[in-house]
């Protein structure tokens, strides 16, 4: 039993655990409560109190909120585009042509495409801002890891969306990227 407690205590004091769950118990003062909320992975979006300099536009650049807003645009436009697009080699290119020329709200494809480009740009700018301000350093290294994972997923989904219409030049760029 003592070995189990010792193992759990070592895990709770380890770097991974403390980077995810920060704060050290129930806060007893306003300062401790603020530090728990500001350093929390889950609560940092809506903190209890913030100093004025932490929410200035020139410090945050609004990149986190913008990337979430563009994610919502991509989700809604992607769901609407699902009704008109068949992802098969035979029909994909003709469905793209039909989307732009014959389908009501054909601009939905262009909105989705430009939002995808903006998403890649904004996620890169967000990661640049986090890197330049040193927000990846302990105790926020878990946030940095999640951000790198989300940026990788964004890049992967952007590339698969680029290849989605199965045109000849996109097929060539996909195979050349695969073989490099």
Is residue 79 located within the same domain as residue 139? yes
34 vs 116: which has the higher pLDDT? 116
Are 91 and 172 contained in the same domain? Answer: yes
- pLDDT of residue 1 exceeding 80: no
CATH code at position 66: 1.20.810.10
pTM, two decimal places: 0.67
- The answer to whether residues 43 and 65 belong to one domain is no
Quote the CA–CA distance of 146 and 100 in Å, as a whole number: 36
CA separation for the pair 46, 26 (Å, rounded): 18
Q: Would the pLDDT of 34 be above 80?
A: no
CA distance 171 to 173: 6
User: Do residues 40 and 72 share a domain?
Assistant: no
Asked if residue 72 and residue 42 are part of one domain, the reply reads no
Token couple for 130:
């986090």
- Higher-confidence residue of 96 and 126: namely 126
Rounded to whole angstroms, how far apart are CA atoms 161 and 73?
A: 15
> Using CA atoms, how far apart are residues 159 and 116, in angstroms rounded to an integer?
10
Question: In Å, how far are 8, 9, 10, 14, 16 from 3, measured between CA atoms?
Answer: 9, 10, 10, 16, 20
pLDDT, residue 172, reads 59
Q: Please report, for residues 49, 50, 133, the alpha-carbon distance to residue 53 in angstroms, rounded to integers and kept in the order given.
A: 12, 8, 13
> Which of 28-42, 55-69, 130-144 has maximum average pLDDT?
130-144
173 and 130 within one domain = yes
> Which of 11, 29, 50 represents a domain boundary (last residue)?
50
Q: Same domain, yes or no, for 107 and 23?
A: no
Provide the domain count of the chain. 2
Asked which of 8-17, 37-46, 58-67, 104-113 is least confident by mean pLDDT, the reply is 37-46
* More confident position, 68 or 48: 68
Rounded percentage of the chain residues whose pLDDT exceeds 70? 77
Kind and range of the H or E run holding 38: helix 30-38
Alpha helices by DSSP H, listed for the chain, are: 2-12, 15-20, 30-38, 57-60, 63-82, 92-101, 107-132, 141-162, 168-179
Tokens of 85: 């697009």
Mean pLDDT in the chain? 80
Most confident of 79-93, 147-161, 163-177: 147-161
Phi, psi values for residue 41, rounded to 5° = -65, -40
Residues 127 and 83 in one domain: yes
103-159 pLDDT, tens digit per residue, is 777 788 889 989 999 999 999 999 998 898 888 888 788 889 999 999 999 999 988
* Residue 6: domain span: 1-50
| 166 and 108 inside one domain | yes
Say if residue 149 is in the same domain as residue 168: yes
Last residue of a domain, one of 15, 31, 50: 50
């Amino acid at each position: 039993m003592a070995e189990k407690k010792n193992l759990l205590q070592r895990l709770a004091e380890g770097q991974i655990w403390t980077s995810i769950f920060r704060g050290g118990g129930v806060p007893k003062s306003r300062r401790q409560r603020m530090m728990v909320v500001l350093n929390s992975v889950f609560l940092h979006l809506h903190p209890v109190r913030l100093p004025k300099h932490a929410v200035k536009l020139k410090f945050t650049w609004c990149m986190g909120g913008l990337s979430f807003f563009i994610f919502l645009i991509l989700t809604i436009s992607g769901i609407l585009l699902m009704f008109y697009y068949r992802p098969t080699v035979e029909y994909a290119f003709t469905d793209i042509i039909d989307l732009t020329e014959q389908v009501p709200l054909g601009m939905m494809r262009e909105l989705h495409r430009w939002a995808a480009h903006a998403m890649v740009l904004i996620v890169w700018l967000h990661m640049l801002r986090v890197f330049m301000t040193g927000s990846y350093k302990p105790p926020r290294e878990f946030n940095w890891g999640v951000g790198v994972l989300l940026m990788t997923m964004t890049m992967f989904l952007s590339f698969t969306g680029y290849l989605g219409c199965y045109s000849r030049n996109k097929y060539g760029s996909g195979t050349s990227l695969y073989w490099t």
